[in-house]
Chain A
């Protein structure tokens, strides 16, 4: 199995996410997005990604500070995105413990190549630290990306291995809500494996559908983890002073773009002064 993993992309421009994501997806990576420094920090700690792509200039907390804070507790691989002319920041980023940097404007292909290179370099203490899970005749080995049933290799996509690993590691949380998103990729995988697909076009559609469903499952897992952490008190909610109109403005900016894609008008009225 080649290099793969879960990537956290931190940049305030949605379009940067879209291009990087397209290429990450093409190479079998899963991902999460953060659009400002605070979200980046929070998600980095919550999701524990295999690698973080971190933009230097972000609202709220900049990339340098995010990197510095993360390095206190984590050795997660970090690739910095810097704009031309941020030479000093670039050096600072590497000194603060970033693993690599990429100068904007970049080619998304280059980003994925660097992601793979950094992950390969870090492999020894990367995925291999996670123990294989065993249940009766089933063995799920995340470091080798292998699933074996009674010693026989079961063909699985990397994402299917990850999902299986999660489900097996959290048996108490498996509800019927998982069965729907799991059943589609499973049925499609079997159909493809048994050569039951009439033509290439259908095959492609099936792969797309499997990808879609596994991504949904990964979102479901993230949400469920978030909810269970909230309910168990593992994530605390603290009051904090903030500028409401500033925050709403940045939310509005992001959603205006998303809404426009669906030809929906997004309007924003800040809190009146006083």
Chain B
């Protein structure tokens, strides 16, 4: 048995097929509703037990980049089940 499953997948938005959504899901511990609104903040670490792993800046950097591009990045999570991180990419006609 594997320790878990991580999936990377891309799909079109249900309502607007100019919007591509890219998601990464895991079957990990999930994020508590209290922590969820804060996880894109600098140095915010929900999982204090594993707080020594990362720098606490990865999601803040991702958020900053997506905001500058005018795209969305968000997370859905259920404790004990896992999390899904998603960002949007809006297709635009190529500029010659």
A interface residues with partner B (beta carbon < 8 Å): 175, 177, 216, 219-220, 223-224, 226-227, 230-231, 237, 239, 241, 244-245, 248, 251-252, 255, 259, 262-272
Q: Is the CB of B57 within 8 A of A245?
A: no
User: Which residue in B2, B22, B55, B68 is a CB contact (below 8 Å) of A219?
Assistant: B55
Q: How many residues of B contact A (CB 8 A)?
A: 29
Of the stretches B8-16, B31-39, B72-80, the one at the interface is B8-16
Chain A residues contacting B61 (CB-CB under 8 Å) are 223, 226-227, 230
A-B contact pairs, 14 of them (CB 8 A): A175-B43, A219-B55, A220-B55, A223-B57, A226-B57, A226-B61, A230-B68, A237-B65, A237-B68, A264-B3, A264-B6, A268-B9, A269-B7, A269-B8
Q: Is the CB of B43 within 8 A of A263?
A: no
Q: Is the CB of B89 within 8 A of A267?
A: no
Q: Is the CB of B4 within 8 A of A248?
A: no
A184: nearest residue on chain B (CB-CB)?
A: B52
A231: nearest residue on chain B (CB-CB)?
A: B64
Q: Is the CB of A269 within 8 A of B9?
A: yes
Q: Is the CB of B8 within 8 A of A267?
A: yes
Q: Is the CB of A224 within 8 A of B2?
A: no
| Known pairs A262-B3, A264-B3, A268-B7; A227 contacts B69 (CB<8 A) | no
Chain A residues contacting B89 (CB-CB under 8 Å) are 244
